[in-house]
Amino acid sequence: MTRWTPDPTFYASPSDAAGAPAEKLAYVAAFDRAAEQPDAIAVIDTDPASETYGRVVGWTDLPHTGDELHHFGWNACSSALCPTAPHPHVERRYLIVPGLRSSRLYVIDTKDDPRAPRIVKEISPEELKSKSGYSRPHTIHCGPDGIYVSALGNGTDGGGPGGIAVLDHTTFEVRGQWEADRGDQFLAYDFWWHLTRDVLVTSEWGTPDMIEDGINPELLLGRKYGHRLHFWDLAKRTLVQSVDLGDQYQMTLELRPAHEPTKEYGFVGVVVSVEDLSASVWVWHREAGEFKVTKVIDIPAEPAATEDLPPALQPFGAVPPLVTDIDLSVDDKFLYVSCWGTGELKQYDVSDPFHPVEVGSVRLGGIVGRVPHPSFPDERLAGGPQMVEVSRDGKRVYVTNSLYGSWDDQFYPDGVGAWLAKIDVADGGGIAVDPQFFPHGDEFRGRRVHQTRLQGGDASSDSYCFPSA
Amino acid sequence: MSGGQLLALAGLGAFHGLNPAMGWLFAVARGMQERSRTVLLKSLPPIALGHLASVAIVAAVVSATESVVAGNVVGIVGGLVLVAFGLWRLLSERHFRWAGMRLSSAQLAGWSFLMSSAHGAGLMLLPVLAAGAMAGHADHAMPGMSLDGTPVAALEGLAAAGVHTLAMFAVMAGLAFAVYEFVGVSILRRAWFNMDRVWAGVMVGTGALTIALSAN
């Protein structure tokens, strides 16, 4: 049933959203690498006034095993206020949760008891494959005319092309494949858009058979993973332009367009350069109608002793930063960059997107560093800051430590563990770990943790159609 | 058309103009995106034109039909259609689907036409038009006369759509201007009450009323 007034978590503009109240709960994807126990959505208390602050306060097991939960998203967000197809009286209440390995999707209702989300619908892998021609669903965004789901693989054999499937806003039925003309786009990973410009952007990782058994050194050194960005006409659903960053820049992953609708730029992280193991962040922007992609951040590899490195890295004598997630604050001022290899979260002031200035850094875990959390100084942490989520007001940042099951095992062969850290942001820049908040280890019941979603929305969940006042 | 009818048509026009989904909000968004009041103002006529086209088709068909059939048939059938459409709008949670915000003026008029049609904007005028027909039939009791009157009746329908759209345009322009210049879109999250549900309720109510009046 629809509401009489718009859902209070919808905001017309980014500046309105930045004034949203602090989140009380966080939802975290938790998966069992062994596929023996079911994956789960863990609910974390994020209210500092609560007695259970920083603890796992809810847990919803899924009915199957081996889904490998990864990313997920809301059924509706601030884009419901967009004027061409407004539907602001729907509720933001369902999490759309894909299994990256199983290709199954779940619809999970958080309304009745936000601490005990309830599974209300399941979309089978067969249904997704037959109706959209895709498998391995990944990113979810609430679009103007449906829920968009990116997927890594085709529906038949573990190869490509990957692309985008669209789900119905109300019934969650798979409506079909999004692309009307994909040109030579083959690899897929993330996507997002400039809604008011009718531009959709997609990035490239690899097809399922290139990633599911672990990162393949031959493919990597052969520069076969993705290194392009694609720009699409959102209304016509056609590929307009592809930009190649250069094949040494392997794996263009997370896309973070500016939230402000009048701006037409965004950031993309590149995992690794095969030339020197560095990672990089690039900005896409438009000049005279054409998209260009410019490198704005370079993060070098850190030299390391061979005996400190996992077998996969021993030939190189260095730790690659492995930038595997980035996140842009709702006011487009700060960019957070996860260096999962070196175990560092970097904060950049990107007020001038072409000249980022590093203003903060926190170290946790890392392949060599194994930096402990300040509240548990004796526990050497594995994994590093990986999935980053920023609160709407930009004051809190949450990071989890698992990348992707089979890849965790290669870079952290003695076990990646499971932890979720909260990082506080000082006004004007600067970040520090919150010592009070550190759900980890057994609290996650043997699962690894990936994406975090904040109750009411966060910096990577909503799109806005109206400029800030 | 009587003064009462004109007033009713204008009132429904104002009601349609008030609905953010019918276009004033899109005009505001276009103006804000380009930081230009001119863009906002230029967006209003195509939106009104699309609305006019959507309403005029229904109005012309209804007026022409009722000039050839018995006085209460259009009222009863039309009332049933209105009730059914209103109930469907009330119970279905499906919303108008559209992707793409950078539209030319022609595309904007097309968008408005589809948006108005999907909402059944023209249907809502049915009770007023049906009331006109019954009055007309009472005036000319000669059955054979009506056939020749079909084009004239259709024109009368178009005039009704015109009056309706003028009122819609005035309210839409006033709202768009006020929100763009003074109020700001932040108000949407509090003040945007569910027009779709009210809209559907009005349809069911007026449809039922039309049936009751026509059946008499």
Could you tell me the residue ranges of all domains in chain A? 14-454
Q: Which of A2, A11, A466 sits opposite B194 (nearest CB)?
A: A2
Instruction: Read off the pLDDT band of B140 (50, 70, 90).
Output: very low
Instruction: Read off the pLDDT band of B146 (50, 70, 90).
Output: very low
Mean pLDDT of A402-426: 97
- Do the chains contact at A465 and B102, CB–CB below 8 Å? no
pLDDT higher than 60, residue B147: no
pLDDT higher than 60, residue B136: no
Contact A339, A346 (CB under 8 A): yes
| Shortest CA gap B199–chain A (Å) | 12
* Out of A116-125, A249-258, B80-89, least confident range: B80-89
- Do the chains contact at B101 and A5, CB–CB below 8 Å? no
pLDDT higher than 50, residue B139: no
Q: Give CA–CA dist A400/A339, Å, rounded.
A: 12
- Do the chains contact at B100 and A84, CB–CB below 8 Å? yes
Mean pLDDT of B16-27: 97
Q: Give CA–CA dist B103/B116, Å, rounded.
A: 17
Size (chain A), residues:
469
Q: Give CA–CA dist A426/A149, Å, rounded.
A: 34
**To which H or E segment does residue A194 belong?**
strand A191-194
Using the Cβ of A169 and the Cβ atoms of chain B, whether some distance falls under 8 Å is answered with yes
What confidence score (pLDDT) does residue B144 get?
A: 42
What confidence score (pLDDT) does residue A361 get?
A: 98
Mean pLDDT of A72-90: 96
Q: Give CA–CA dist A20/A417, Å, rounded.
A: 33
Structure tokens at A15: 């500046």
Name the residue among A269, A267, A191 with its Cα closest to residue A232. Answer: A191
Instruction: Read off the pLDDT band of B133 (50, 70, 90).
Output: low
Structure tokens at A271: 């995992």
Instruction: Read off the pLDDT band of A260 (50, 70, 90).
Output: very high
Structure tokens at A302: 């850190």
pLDDT higher than 90, residue B90: no
Query: Which chain B positions have a beta carbon within 8 Å of A10's beta carbon?
Result: 189
- Do the chains contact at A196 and B97, CB–CB below 8 Å? no
- Do the chains contact at B185 and A12, CB–CB below 8 Å? yes
Q: Give CA–CA dist B53/A12, Å, rounded.
A: 30
Using the Cβ of A173 and the Cβ atoms of chain B, whether some distance falls under 8 Å is answered with no
Q: Give CA–CA dist B128/A400, Å, rounded.
A: 62
**To which H or E segment does residue B203 belong?**
helix B195-215
pLDDT for A222-240, tens place per residue? 999 999 999 999 999 999 9
pLDDT higher than 90, residue A386: yes
pLDDT higher than 60, residue B145: no
* Out of A169-183, A312-326, A452-466, B116-130, least confident range: B116-130
Q: Give CA–CA dist B132/B113, Å, rounded.
A: 25
| Shortest CA gap A19–chain B (Å) | 11
- Do the chains contact at A5 and B192, CB–CB below 8 Å? yes
Q: Give CA–CA dist A357/A132, Å, rounded.
A: 42
Mean pLDDT of B96-115: 95
Using the Cβ of A289 and the Cβ atoms of chain B, whether some distance falls under 8 Å is answered with no
What confidence score (pLDDT) does residue B65 get?
A: 86
The residues, ordered by sequence, that sit 6+ positions from A31 with a Cβ below 8 Å of its Cβ are A39, A40, A67, A68, A69, A70, A402, A405, A447, A448, A450
* Out of A179-188, A338-347, A354-363, B52-61, least confident range: B52-61
Closest-CA residue of A relative to B27 is: A83
pLDDT averaged over every residue in chain A: 97
**To which H or E segment does residue A256 belong?**
strand A249-257
The CB-side HSE value for B45 (13 A sphere, CA atoms) comes to 7
Structure tokens at A346: 């970097």
DSSP-assigned letters across all residues of B120-186 = TTTGGGHHHHHHHHHHHHHH---TTHHHHTHHHHHHHHHHHHHHHHHHHHHHHHHHHHHIIIII-GG
Mean pLDDT of A285-289: 94
Cα B205 to Cα A162, B5, B6, B54: the distances in Å are 50, 17, 20, 22
Torsion of CA B63, B66, B72, B77, to 10 degrees: -80
Residue numbers of A between 249 and 288 with CB closer than 8 Å to B: 261-262
Mean pLDDT of A48-60: 98
What percentage of chain A exceeds 90 in pLDDT? 99
What are the E-state strand segments in A329-465?
A: 334-339, 344-349, 357-363, 388-390, 396-400, 420-425, 431-433, 448-454
What confidence score (pLDDT) does residue B62 get?
A: 87
Closest-CA residue of A relative to B112 is: A84
Mean pLDDT of A15-44: 98
Q: Higher pLDDT residue, B155 or A408?
A: A408
Structure tokens at B200: 């559907």
- Do the chains contact at B33 and A11, CB–CB below 8 Å? no
- Do the chains contact at B33 and A262, CB–CB below 8 Å? yes
What confidence score (pLDDT) does residue B143 get?
A: 44
Contact B210, B79 (CB under 8 A): yes
- Domain at A14-454: CATH architecture: 7 Propeller (2.130)
Mean pLDDT of A164-171: 96
pLDDT for A329-379, tens place per residue? 999 999 999 999 999 999 999 999 999 999 999 999 999 999 999 999 999
Residue numbers of A between 371 and 390 with CB closer than 8 Å to B: none
ipTM for this model: 0.94
Q: Give CA–CA dist A174/A152, Å, rounded.
A: 16
Structure tokens at A345: 């979260």
Structure tokens at A319: 């730790």
Name the residue among B31, B23, B182, B47 with its Cα closest to residue A261. Answer: B31
- Do the chains contact at A12 and B197, CB–CB below 8 Å? no
